[in-house]
């Protein structure tokens, strides 16, 4: 008997209490909400659509974190600045002048195409430059060193673009043809949200196919598996890593355009919050895994949008949406307690690390 | 060389004579504590310009007439660099070295709260034209202000929406992590429920600073049956909220508070914000009478339309002028004169300012009307209505 008491692992008990507590709260809140039934099914549907649209953005940005982590085992905190730089530049140099001259109104899709291309080019250029100057010389350094460098690079780009374009919030013009709603499953979806979701899904699938089916994709996976062996097999490791960065940044550039389209404003600090959320999504889905980043993004978006109403309304908490970040990160903790490798992540112990 | 010596000697004698002369000085010094440099130089510039324009009028009249004697007025303009410690330093210098009779400024609450402490301790009257934080004048008999307080605007919008549109159901959307919107949202809710009963704020939704997606909250508001939305936010959030509300099919009015007053609001929000209302200190477009005169004169002299700081400074200068005149005489005993001016300030009734009529309470806060501004279809801030307490 005495022996058994000594065997009790106190940390284990605390963790067990924690996860049971969270689960009870979530179930209790959800059941209470469902019983009270404060919203129609149409409203729930709306919440789900908002969540999926927001989640698509997170997923697109999360890809960048996951790709770089998969290849370099490094968390690239400057990724949120790749997201910001493209659309910030495109807005100042292209979108607002085009709006002022009337070109954007007469050719909305040509204009949007030009904006997207510019955003991608700038994002990719910034990413390649950062990789070449700040990360490549440190590739053999201990893991903490590139991490701190990434934080420094993030600050550098933020203030670089603040110096370049100013610290004010800049408007992003409304694109004609993306205004309005279309009917969908008994509710209506905003056209710009449809565009966000569709573009994100196409890009994610395209990227997955690129990595899995093409020769370049294979070289990236080989480098991710083992850099030295890949180099022995004749793979240009530097090139594979550069391509990885470029792909992540291109996704971030597209995400930037979609973000500006929905929220219609840009500024030098706009990358910070989406960046943190996308990183969370990448961890939630299993960092290093491309489908994981996508799934993590959609889950996080859903938790944020449906969670406050579903889990907290029933507990009698007023105005629960201010707590959406709490919900999102509680869910992250919960998922990581049960699956430390994330929803779709591989066990690191099996592979490397 | 010798000539200079004689000259300076003469000067010294002249000064000595002047000092020993009549007890009552022929000049009145007014201190201006303004952020000429720092984060908000435009605010300092507006303060300085309005004060200088006021001085022109006094000079043109041959001085300030107090009890039948004309006094020359001198402005002591000190830069507070938009910093709290510099504002304290500026006040101390003006009170102890420059012997000012009264101080106008500082503008922002950040500087007005600590600087007010100095003025109060040194028993020198001070009027802050622009500071809305209750702490500036709280328990400080020597400190006054030229604008209304934060708690006043909530009831203003509540009364306006009830009377103008006959609304009975309101929705509030505010940032729970920021003092100003949170305070205003609470004041509004209390005022609204007093008018229309418990539960008449049908949606009381919130978010936290830096959130950009308000679709879920706005969907709830839309389904709650609310007739209008009150959102006391800053300009970039105003743009996000208004645009998202319209995209989601919200067609009712959206109202705000004086934080909407920046020109950035319309720049970011565009046509989505046209036709919306907010409460503020003064409206430049569509002004009439003395207000219009002031705006036109300022515009002609400095080349731009003055914002609320300029107008409130103008009023504060005139309040100071009236208090000095009400005092009746300047004895030359600075301590007694300052006390006399303070008492006159506290008993000002029905002062006609360009930002509205004011009567001061013993706390140093004016009882004053707010202006409801409508954002016109050209994106200008147009006077719509005055709402009084």
The per-residue pLDDT for B287 is 78
What is the 3 state secondary structure string of chain B? CHHHHHHHHHHHHHHHHHHHCCCCCCEEEEEEEECCCCCCHHHHHHHHHHHHHHHHHHHHCCCEEECCEEEEEEEEEEECCCCHHHHHHHHHHHHHCCCCCEEECCCCHHHHHHHHHHHHHCCCCEEECCCCCHHHCCCCCCEEECCCCHHHHHHHHHHHHHHHHCCCCEEEEEECCCHHHHHHHHHHHHHHHHHHCCCCEEEEEEECCCCCCCHHHHHHHHHCCCCEEECCCCHHHHHHHHHHHHHCCCCCCEEECHHHHCCHHHHHHHHHHCCCEEEECCCCECCCHHHHHHHHHHHHHHCCCCCHHHHHHHHHHHHHHHHHHHHCCCCCCHHHHHHHHHHHHHCCCCEEECCEEEEECCCCCEEECEEEEEECCCCCEEEEEEECC
Query: What are the structure tokens assigned to B117, written together?
Result: 């402490």
Query: What are the structure tokens assigned to A70, written together?
Result: 């998969």
Contacts of B270 in chain A (CB under 8 A): 171, 174
- Domain shared by B120 and B203, yes or no: no
Nearest-by-CA chain A residue for B203: A319
With an 8 Å Cβ cutoff, are B216 and A309 in contact? yes
With an 8 Å Cβ cutoff, are A321 and B217 in contact? yes
The per-residue pLDDT for B231 is 92
Q: How far apart are CA A225 and CA A240, in angstroms?
A: 12
Mutation site for B-interface testing, chosen from A193, A322, A327, A329 by largest number of B Cβ within 10 Å: A322
Q: How many CB pairs under 8 A join A and B?
A: 70
Mutation site for A-interface testing, chosen from B216, B231, B250, B274 by largest number of A Cβ within 10 Å: B216
Other C-beta atoms lying within 10 Å of the C-beta of residue B57: 13
Predicted confidence (pLDDT) per residue in A312-338, tens digit? 777 777 778 888 888 888 888 888 888
> In this prediction, what percent of chain B has a pLDDT beyond 70?
93
Whether the CB-CB separation of A128 and A238 falls below 8 Å is answered with no
Closest partner residue to B210 (CB to CB) among A171, A262, A273 is A273
Q: Which of B280, B298, B316 is the last residue of a domain?
A: B280
The per-residue pLDDT for A314 is 73
With an 8 Å Cβ cutoff, are A308 and B216 in contact? yes
- Domain shared by B242 and B306, yes or no: no
With an 8 Å Cβ cutoff, are B176 and A273 in contact? no
Confidence of residue B22 (pLDDT cuts 50, 70, 90): very low
Q: Provide the β-strand partners of residue B31.
A: B76, B103
- Domain shared by B218 and B253, yes or no: yes
Which residues are CB-contacts of A223 (< 8 A; sequence separation ≥ 6)? A71, A230, A235, A237, A240, A241, A244
pLDDT for B4 beyond 70: no
Contacts of A268 in chain B (CB under 8 A): none
Instruction: Compute the average pLDDT of residues B56-76.
Output: 90
Instruction: For residue A308, give the DSSP letter.
Output: I
- Torsion sign, CA atoms A162, A168, A169, A170: negative
Instruction: Note whether residue B382 is domain-resident.
Output: no
Contacts of A329 in chain B (CB under 8 A): none
CA B103 to chain centre: 15
Q: Which residue has the tokens 């010094």?
A: B29
CA-to-CA separations, B272 to B70, B208, B311, in angstroms, rounded: 54, 23, 28
Predicted confidence (pLDDT) per residue in B240-294, tens digit? 999 999 988 898 899 998 888 777 788 888 888 899 999 888 888 777 888 889 9
The per-residue pLDDT for A246 is 94
Instruction: Note whether residue B12 is domain-resident.
Output: no
The per-residue pLDDT for B91 is 94
- Domain shared by B144 and B228, yes or no: no
Helices (H) and strands (E) in chain A, counts: 16, 4
Which residues are CB-contacts of A135 (< 8 A; sequence separation ≥ 6)? A72, A74, A76, A146, A149, A150
- Domain shared by B187 and B231, yes or no: yes
ipTM of the complex: 0.83
With an 8 Å Cβ cutoff, are B220 and A171 in contact? no
With an 8 Å Cβ cutoff, are B216 and A305 in contact? yes
Q: Which of B280, B300, B333 is the last residue of a domain?
A: B280
Closest partner residue to A322 (CB to CB) among B208, B236, B247 is B208
Closest partner residue to B216 (CB to CB) among A264, A267, A321 is A321
- Domain shared by B154 and B269, yes or no: yes
- Domain shared by B100 and B158, yes or no: no
With an 8 Å Cβ cutoff, are B240 and A181 in contact? no
Closest partner residue to B268 (CB to CB) among A169, A322, A325 is A169
- Domain shared by B143 and B106, yes or no: yes
Instruction: Note whether residue B375 is domain-resident.
Output: no
Confidence of residue B20 (pLDDT cuts 50, 70, 90): very low
Nearest-by-CA chain A residue for B212: A263
Whether the CB-CB separation of A243 and A68 falls below 8 Å is answered with no
Contacts of A325 in chain B (CB under 8 A): 208
Whether the CB-CB separation of B231 and B273 falls below 8 Å is answered with no
CA A350 to chain centre: 26
Predicted confidence (pLDDT) per residue in B216-231, tens digit? 889 889 888 889 999 9
pLDDT tens for chain A, residues 1 to 353 = 455 556 667 888 887 888 888 888 888 888 888 887 777 778 888 888 889 999 999 999 999 999 998 888 888 999 999 999 999 999 999 888 888 888 888 888 888 999 999 999 999 999 999 999 999 999 888 888 988 999 999 999 999 998 888 777 888 988 877 777 888 777 788 888 889 999 999 999 999 999 999 999 999 999 988 888 888 988 899 999 999 999 999 999 999 999 999 898 898 889 999 999 999 999 998 888 888 999 999 999 998 888 888 887 777 777 788 888 888 888 888 888 888 888 887 654 444 44
Mutation site for B-interface testing, chosen from A182, A268, A319 by largest number of B Cβ within 10 Å: A319
Q: How far apart are CA A52 and CA B250, in angstroms?
A: 22
Domain extent at residue B162 = 150-280
CATH of the domain at B215: 3.40.50.2300
Predicted confidence (pLDDT) per residue in B69-112, tens digit? 889 999 999 999 888 899 999 999 999 999 999 999 898 888 89
> In this prediction, what percent of chain B has a pLDDT beyond 90?
34
- Domain shared by B93 and B169, yes or no: no
Contacts of A43 in chain B (CB under 8 A): 219-220, 223
Closest partner residue to B223 (CB to CB) among A43, A179, A308 is A43
Predicted confidence (pLDDT) per residue in B183-240, tens digit? 888 889 999 998 888 888 888 988 987 888 898 889 889 888 889 999 988 878 899 9
Q: Which residue has the tokens 């109202």?
A: B255
Instruction: For residue A95, give the DSSP letter.
Output: I
Instruction: Note whether residue B233 is domain-resident.
Output: yes
Nearest 5°: phi and psi at B76?
Answer: -105, 100
The per-residue pLDDT for A243 is 93
Q: Which of B223, B255, B280 is the last residue of a domain?
A: B280
- Name the minimum distance, in Å, from the CA of A239 to any CA of chain B: 37
Instruction: Note whether residue B13 is domain-resident.
Output: no
Mutation site for A-interface testing, chosen from B40, B172, B204, B215 by largest number of A Cβ within 10 Å: B215
Predicted confidence (pLDDT) per residue in B289-329, tens digit? 888 899 999 999 998 888 888 999 999 999 999 999 998 88
- Average pLDDT value over all residues in chain B: 86
- Domain shared by B127 and B158, yes or no: no
User: Into how many domains does chain B fold?
Assistant: 2
Instruction: Note whether residue B187 is domain-resident.
Output: yes
Closest partner residue to B206 (CB to CB) among A174, A273, A319 is A319
Instruction: Note whether residue B204 is domain-resident.
Output: yes
Mutation site for A-interface testing, chosen from B40, B207, B219, B225 by largest number of A Cβ within 10 Å: B219
The per-residue pLDDT for A350 is 45
- Domain shared by B144 and B157, yes or no: no
The predicted model scores a pTM of 0.79
With an 8 Å Cβ cutoff, are A50 and B215 in contact? yes
The DSSP element (H or E) to which A340 belongs, if any, is none
Q: Which residue has the tokens 């440190």?
A: A138
- Domain shared by B144 and B291, yes or no: yes
Whether the CB-CB separation of A262 and A273 falls below 8 Å is answered with no
Nearest-by-CA chain B residue for A272: B210
With an 8 Å Cβ cutoff, are B212 and A273 in contact? yes
Cis peptide upstream of residue B91 (ω within 30 degrees of 0): no
Crossing angle of helices A191-213 and A41-72, rounded to 10°: 30
The per-residue pLDDT for A72 is 87
């Amino acid at each position: 008997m005495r022996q058994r008491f000594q065997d009790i692992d106190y940390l284990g008990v605390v963790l067990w209490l924690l996860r049971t507590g969270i689960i009870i709260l979530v179930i209790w809140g959800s059941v209470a909400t469902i019983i009270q039934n404060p919203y129609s099914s149409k409203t729930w549907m709306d919440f789900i659509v908002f969540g999926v649209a927001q989640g698509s953005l997170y997923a697109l940005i999360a890809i960048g974190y996951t790709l770089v982590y998969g290849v370099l085992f490094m968390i690239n905190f400057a990724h949120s600045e790749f997201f910001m730089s493209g659309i910030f530049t495109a807005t100042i140099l292209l979108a607002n002048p085009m709006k002022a001259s009337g070109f954007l109104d007469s050719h909305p899709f040509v204009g949007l195409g030009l904006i997207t291309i510019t955003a991608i080019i700038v994002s990719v250029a910034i990413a390649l430059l950062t990789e070449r100057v700040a990360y490549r010389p440190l590739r053999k350094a201990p893991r903490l060193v590139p991490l701190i460098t990434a934080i420094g690079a993030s600050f550098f780009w933020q203030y670089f673009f603040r110096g370049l374009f100013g610290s004010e919030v800049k408007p992003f013009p409304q694109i004609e043809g993306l205004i309005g709603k279309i009917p969908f499953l008994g509710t209506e979806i905003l056209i710009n949200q449809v565009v966000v979701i569709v573009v994100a899904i196409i890009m994610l699938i395209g990227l997955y196919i690129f990595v899995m089916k093409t020769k370049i994709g294979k070289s990236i996976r080989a480098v991710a598996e083992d850099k030295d062996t890949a180099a022995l097999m004749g793979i240009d490791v530097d090139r594979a890593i550069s391509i990885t960065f470029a792909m992540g940044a291109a996704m971030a550039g597209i995400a930037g355009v979609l973000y500006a389209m929905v929220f219609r404003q840009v500024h030098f600090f706009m990358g910070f919050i989406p960046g943190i959320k996308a990183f969370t999504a990448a961890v939630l889905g299993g960092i290093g895994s491309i489908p994981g980043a996508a799934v993590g993004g959609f889950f996080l978006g859903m938790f944020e949008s449906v969670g406050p109403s579903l889990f907290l309304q029933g507990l009698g908490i007023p105005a629960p949406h201010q707590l959406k970040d709490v919900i999102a990160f509680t869910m992250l903790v919960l998922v990581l307690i049960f699956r430390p490798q994330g929803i779709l992540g591989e066990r690191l112990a099996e592979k490397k690390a | 060389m010798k000539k200079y010596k004689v000259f300076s000697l003469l000067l010294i004698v002249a000064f000595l004579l002047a000092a020993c002369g009549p007890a009552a000085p022929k000049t009145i010094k007014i201190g201006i504590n303004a952020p000429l440099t720092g984060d908000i130089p435009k605010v300092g510039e507006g303060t300085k310009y309005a004060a200088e324009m006021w001085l022109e009028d006094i000079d043109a009249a041959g001085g300030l007439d107090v009890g039948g004697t004309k006094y020359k007025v001198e402005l002591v303009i000190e830069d507070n660099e938009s910093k709290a410690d510099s504002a304290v330093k500026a006040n101390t210098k003006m009170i102890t070295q420059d012997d000012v009779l009264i101080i106008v400024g500082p503008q922002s609450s950040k500087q007005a709260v600590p600087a007010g402490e100095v003025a109060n301790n040194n028993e020198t009257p001070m009027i802050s034209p622009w500071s809305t934080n209750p702490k500036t004048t709280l328990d400080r008999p020597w400190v006054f202000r030229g604008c209304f307080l934060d708690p006043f605007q909530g009831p203003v919008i509540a009364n306006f929406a009830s009377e103008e549109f006959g609304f009975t159901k309101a929705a509030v959307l505010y940032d729970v992590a920021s003092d100003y919107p949170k305070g205003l949202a609470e004041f509004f809710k209390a005022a609204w429920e007093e008018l229309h009963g418990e539960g008449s704020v049908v949606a009381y939704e919130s978010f936290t600073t830096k959130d950009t997606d308000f679709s879920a909250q706005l969907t709830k508001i839309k389904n709650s049956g609310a007739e209008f939305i009150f959102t006391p936010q800053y300009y970039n959030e105003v743009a996000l909220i208004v645009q998202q509300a319209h995209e989601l099919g919200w067609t009712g009015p959206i109202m705000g508070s004086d934080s909407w007053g920046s020109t950035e609001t319309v720049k970011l929000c565009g046509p989505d914000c046209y036709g919306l209302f907010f409460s503020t200190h003064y409206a430049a477009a569509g002004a009439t009478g003395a207000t219009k005169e002031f705006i036109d004169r300022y515009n002609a002299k400095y080349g731009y339309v003055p914002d609320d700081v300029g107008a409130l400074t103008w009023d504060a200068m005139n309040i100071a002028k009236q208090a000095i005149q009400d005092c009746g005489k300047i004895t030359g005993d600075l301590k007694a004169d300052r006390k006399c001016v303070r008492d006159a300030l506290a008993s000002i009734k029905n002062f006609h300012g360009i930002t509205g009529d004011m009567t001061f309470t013993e706390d140093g806060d004016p009882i004053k009307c707010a202006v409801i501004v409508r954002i016109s279809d050209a994106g200008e801030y147009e006077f719509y209505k005055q709402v009084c307490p």
